[in-house]
Structure 1
């Protein structure tokens, strides 16, 4: 419970607390930071991206004082920022995802991320695919074209049968079960793998990662709220 979580800070014994939100803007993490940031014996470890303007970013950037619940807290704890664990995709992964779109988009809007990174990604999308990519700056207004409007008949013609959806889900569950078996077997054989086997496994994993990105693109493309309404009806 929330009270149990807060009580951890009253216990003087050494401990590891795993908490969220990832950018320290809300939730129990703020209580943990309030009670531990000032302590030089504490270590705060970030494993995800910290957006500009957030409490987490202030701590990672080395601010010596931060405000939590209206109180100024001195930062004396050791701060670590582990790269590579964030769920955010890098430029190449995002470009590959965009490349998997079956129907060229009228516009692509970039609304999240560092300004320099957004500008660079927008230019890469334009030069690679020729799509109109817009780097959204703060509060902005855009007029969307009506070229993509569809009729109710168009929507109803795209509705997939429940049987087809169930077949897809079943196949995904089967793949998941097979991956669990492979993971278990890899755990058992890890000490006996040759360098050649390790290289082969890494290459296969890279291919799987690429295919997962393509699968994600296929699942999310042409997501239409009107189609959801038609299905629910």
Structure 2
């Protein structure tokens, strides 16, 4: 009887501890997701850099950031689109913000040259926020051997090289003032805990796995420098992402 009582007590205690941990985690999630007041992004710095900023997610982000009073550095490959977005932002926000743009074709330009160009263009700017948004995907499901060389090269250059070299160029600015934020746009296809494998989109999902691990690792490396890093994971998009 005593053994049975002990077992019941131990089991109940373990269950209580487990339930408490679950409740604490749930309450923390509710607080972070719904209740915690948003950060003032201008506390990081007065300028935000957004890659892939002329369409889709990137375009929506630059307008939202500009409305919050941040100056914007647009990065994309199409100069006419960049000029158009710049005008639209200034028309909407007036003299409250400044806008400049950098023309870079991540699929074609050399990695080191990308870094040098960005370093030159942001010299003297109080850059506080970097959003690595540019990306490219498959036009349709296909086996690995069917993916042509040009597409493979684009997937690696745009999805991996771009955020690597842009981040490397911007980090010293943030480290110098000991504050900053980096947001990398990832994908659930790159998280093995969500999707164990993704046949027919092999290279795309592999590049997004890189984005996830890159984000996790630099977050730990630069937390002590006052730099916050996030990897935003969205649902799957199986098409080219224009920049």
TM normalised by structure 1 equals 0.22
Q: Higher Cα Rg: structure 1 or 2?
A: 1
Q: Whose strand proportion is higher, 1 or 2?
A: 2
Q: Whose helix proportion is higher, 1 or 2?
A: 2
TM normalised by structure 2 equals 0.21
